[in-house]
Structures are given as structure tokens and as C-alpha cells.
Chain A
Amino acid sequence: MKLRHAAVVLALVLSVTGCTPTSSQEVGVSASQSPNPISTQQEAALSSDVISQADYQAGFEAYRACMADKGYELIDAGLDGILYDYSIPAAAMDSGISDECYEFNWQQVDARWQDQNIDDSETAKIVSACLEKNGVEPAASYEENVALLTQYGIDPGTC
């Protein structure tokens, strides 16, 4: 077998097996960014520059009602500080019903609300603690601290 032919065979095998450094990995659930339809209530809330607490809570109630309509109750749902905390029955998550209800009624409002309040989030606390654990003085904001993680080469997986 000539070397050129061997290289072609190897390239084909790499292609078939997906062995390129940039190939996507099917681990967990991957991104979904198709423009799925959203409720008029969520659309109205998103038309404003800032999400109000009323919009956030109304979106959650719509999500909860959608879940109930499909036969699932959120577990231990309630406000914990500024965020709703709750658990989702695995059957609702695995069937896709939870994501369907979430995306239609609340996801983007929830995401913006969490972003508006990111400095008070669990994420901000974990990142800050992670910096301290690695001997780096945390800054005041989440955004600065994420930049510090990158700057010092700290793997978030070790946080």
C-alpha cells in the first residue's frame, strides 16, 4: 500500500469516526437555538429593557401551570431570595415536556432576570470562593471574577 493511499484511508477513518478535535460531543444535552415560539406574555416581558419582578413571577406561574396541564407538579417550588427554587420530576425532564413549557413560557425572561441579578447568584458565590481557594483575591463582580478565572487558568470544573 502506498503511503499516499494509506494517508487517504486514515483520513477517511478519522472522518467516519468523528475524530477531529473540533467535533461535537453528544454528552448531556446539547444546544438548541432554533427560534422556538414563545408566549405573548413572555414576548411582552422581553420587549422591555429590564425584566421586572412581576414579569419574572408571572412567567414562572405560566411555566408551572403548563407543567400542571401536562400532569406534572414542580417539587418544593418557592421563592428563595430573588430566584425561584424548585425541582422538576425526572419524567417531565426526560420527556421534554419541562423544556417545552419552560421555553415557551419563561426561559428567556428567567435568563434575563438571573443575568440582571447575577452578582447575588450561587454562581457568583461559587466563582468567588473558587478564586479564593486558588489564592486569587476576588473582585466585586461576577463578570470580573469570571475574567480572573480565565486569566489565572483556573478550570471551573475544580470549583
Chain B
Amino acid sequence: MEVDSGDEAALVDERLELYSGSSQIARRSVEQRGKMKKSKLATALLVAVAALGSATITAVPANAVGSGSWNCAIYNTYNGKSTTSGSNFTAGGSQCGSAQISVGYTVSGGSAQYTAYRTAKDLVTVGNPGYPVFQGRHKMSNPAPAYNYPNNT
């Protein structure tokens, strides 16, 4: 089971689909110009905009856990995913530096803790620490000048 019930990944995808869907709505509207009444067009656009707004608000909770992709500081993107009971990963490290991951969990009847950061060039994964994971921290390391990866310039 994904942390945040996995809805976040679905919502991110859903958001892109909605964007695509809106483009299709606009395209179809062009083709049907003259046939569709202006009021219908405005209604269709309002519905699309409302759907987009709603999806955006729920798709990007601040510092939530689940899955996502981020822009590298230099260029390109990396992504990651955290789950309550499965494995967790950060990928795309060679695009940015090196991929890192640490996951947060709460020991039974005890305190919240994070695992040590694990690092790899392209893809780093960590298994479940033995307790349900409540957060994943997906990062890129700060590459040393002498250790820049080939496509990191």
C-alpha cells in the first residue's frame, strides 16, 4: 500500500490527463466553430477549468508522501515513490547528481525516526524498515566538482 493510499500518483496522472483533455476540448471546439453555440463553449471551458483547479489542489499537498517527480537544479527531472510497507525509491540520479532516499517511520509505541540516507548514481531503493513508513525524503546529493557525472554539466 502506498503512503497516502497511493492516490497521489493517480492524481498526478489524472492531472496530466485533465490537461490533455482540456486541449482536446479546445481542439474540438475549433473544429465545431459555428456549430456550437458560444454559451456551450463557455460552459465546457468552465467545467474543464473547474476540474483542473480541483485536481491541482488535491494533487499537490505540501510535503506529502507518495510519489512525484521534481525538476533538477541543473536540468531534467528525477522522481521517487514511498510506500507504507513496500520498497521505496528515488530515480534519475544521474541526471542531477546522485539519488538519495531516507524514509520516516514510527517504532511501535515509540518515537518517529528516519533511516540513514542511502545513495546511488541512478536509482536507489530501500526496503521497509520494519514499521509502516509515513514519509519518504527523496533528494539529490550535492555532487563534488571532481565527481560530476558525465551528463551533469
Contacts and interface: CB of A to CB of B under 8 A. Distances in A.
Interface of A: 1, 3, 6-7, 9-10, 13-14, 17-22, 24-36, 46-47, 75, 83-90, 93, 98, 102-103, 107-108, 110-112, 114-115, 118, 121-123, 126-127, 142-143, 146, 149, 156-157, 159
B122 A27 contact: no
A89 B111 contact: yes
Contacts of A17: 52-53, 56
A115 B126 contact: no
Contacts of B38: 1
Contacts of B80: 27-28
Given A27-B60, A127-B125, A10 B22 contact: yes
Given A19-B56, A25-B68, A46-B146, A111 B100 contact: yes
Nearest to B110: A75
Nearest to B6: A157
B98 A25 contact: no
A87 B113 CA distance: 6
